[in-house]
Amino acid sequence: MTTVLTPTSELEAINTILSVIGESPISSLSEVSSVADAVTAQSILSEVSRQVQTKGWHFNTEKDFELTPDTYNKEILVPTNALRVDSMGDDREMDVVQRGNKLYDRKKHTFQFDKSIKCDLVVLLPFDQLPQAARHYITIKAARIFSDAWITQKTIDEGLTAPTGFTNASLDQVLLAIKVNNEIGGTVGGGGGGTPPPIA
Q: Label the pairing between strands 61-67 and 82-87.
A: unpaired
Distance CA 6, CA 51 (A): 24
The phi and psi torsions of 118 (rounded to 5 degrees) equal -85, 125
pTM for the complete prediction? 0.75
Distance CA 116, CA 120 (A): 13
Q: Which of 88, 90, 91, 86 is nearest to 103 (CA)?
A: 86
- The tens-digit pLDDT sequence of the chain (200 residues) is 677 889 999 999 999 999 988 889 999 999 999 999 999 999 999 999 999 999 999 999 999 999 999 999 999 999 999 999 999 988 988 999 999 999 999 999 999 999 999 999 999 999 999 999 999 999 999 999 988 876 655 554 455 454 455 455 555 554 555 455 444 545 544 444 444 444 44
Please give the single-letter amino acid code of residue 161.
T
